[in-house]
């Protein structure tokens, strides 16, 4: 696995007699680095009886050849750096010759570039490269739907509740106003009744007073007439 610091691979005791043909794949974690990053490889030691082939590939199964900068053909030289795009892979194949006995090969590699942020890596790990990416996608869609739908339902419920409460308040206010008006009408009727009663009483008092005055006047007239007769 390529990293952003040099990693060295040293293979010793490679022999033809034990059929020590081997290969190594050098690549980055998928989507770990941003576009533009490159993977570099340099062979430090290749014993003379060993044949080393280097090719680059792309795709999950390394099914497509990719270009290697500074390399002509498939045979690398020591002390020379070769690079590929950060999304591709180096495939190093080591084949021992007939005279190979306890031979050694050594190479180092590094990635030069900016890593993606944590959220981007999590996204690719869950929804792109994971074997359970379909399940994670379904979970994400359901969670997103709940996040979107729940607030809408809550807002609609609150609006409906407030509307109903307001209607009840208006109805209560209307009932209160009606009761207040009825009470006012009753008070007005009572006041009018009292006023009518007081007016009748005043008329009776005035009539009584007038009646007394007439009697007195009559009495005085009779007295005067009697005095004249005398």
Judged against a pLDDT cut of 60, whether residue 215 lies above it is answered with no
Tell me what the pLDDT averaged over the chain comes to.
79
C-alpha 151/C-alpha 211 separation (Å) is 88
- Torsion of the alpha carbons at 122, 34, 110 and 65, rounded to the nearest 10: 100
CA distance 119 to 115: 11
pTM of the model: 0.56
State the pLDDT confidence band at 209, using cuts at 50, 70 and 90.
low
- Please name the residues in contact with 11: beta carbons below 8 A apart, sequence gap of 6 or more: 22, 94, 104, 105, 106
Residues 61 and 102 in one domain: yes
26 with 108, same domain?
yes
Closest CA to 103 of 192, 14, 21: 14
Whether 65 and 88 map to the same domain: the answer is yes
The mean-pLDDT minimum among 1-15, 31-45, 183-197 falls in: 183-197
Same domain, 138 and 103: no
Please check whether residue 225 lies inside any domain of the structure. no
Residues 141 and 105 in one domain: no
Query: How high is the pLDDT of residue 17?
Result: 84
The count of domains in the chain is: 2
pLDDT value of position 6: 86
Digit-coded pLDDT (tens) for 39-97: 999 999 999 999 999 999 987 666 678 889 889 889 999 999 999 998 899 999 999 99
pLDDT at 38: 93
Tell me the mean pLDDT in the region 134-157.
Answer: 86
Indicate if 13 and 94 belong to the same structural domain: yes
Q: By residue range, what is the domain housing residue 204?
A: 131-212
| pLDDT(220) > 70 | no
Q: Are residues 50 and 106 in the same domain?
A: yes
| Within-domain flag for 226 | no
Boundary-marking domain end, from 82, 116, 150: 116
Report residue 106 as tokens: 């050594």
At 206, is the secondary structure helix, strand, or coil? helix
- For residues 76 and 142, membership in a common domain is answered with no
**156 plus 108 within the same structural domain:** no
Q: Is residue 218 predicted with pLDDT exceeding 50?
A: no
Give me the mean pLDDT over the 91-113 stretch.
92
Q: What is the CATH number of the domain that holds 71?
A: 2.60.120
The mean-pLDDT minimum among 17-31, 56-70, 169-183, 202-216 falls in: 202-216
């Amino acid at each position: 696995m390529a990293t952003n610091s040099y990693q060295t691979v040293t293979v010793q005791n490679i022999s033809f007699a034990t059929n020590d043909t081997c290969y190594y794949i050098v690549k980055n974690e998928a989507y770990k680095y941003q576009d533009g990053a490159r993977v570099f490889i340099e062979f430090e030691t290749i014993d003379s009886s060993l044949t080393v082939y280097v090719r680059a590939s792309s795709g999950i199964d390394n099914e497509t050849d990719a270009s290697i900068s500074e390399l002509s053909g498939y045979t690398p030289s020591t002390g020379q750096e070769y690079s590929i795009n950060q999304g591709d892979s180096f495939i190093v194949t080591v084949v021992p010759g007939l005279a190979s006995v306890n031979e050694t090969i050594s190479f180092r590699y590094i990635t030069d570039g900016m890593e993606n942020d944590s959220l981007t890596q999590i996204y690719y790990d869950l929804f792109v490269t994971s074997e359970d990416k379909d399940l994670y996608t379904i979970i994400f869609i359901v969670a997103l739907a709940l996040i979107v739908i729940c607030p809408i339902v809550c807002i609609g419920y609150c609006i409906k509740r407030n509307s109903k409460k307001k209607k009840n308040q208006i109805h209560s206010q209307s009932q209160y106003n009606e009761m207040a008006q009825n009470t006012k009408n009753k008070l007005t009727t009572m006041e009018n009744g009292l006023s009518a009663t007081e007016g009748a009483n005043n008329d009776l008092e005035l009539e009584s007073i007038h009646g007394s005055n007439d009697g007195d006047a009559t009495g005085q007239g009779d007295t005067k007439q009697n005095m004249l007769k005398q």
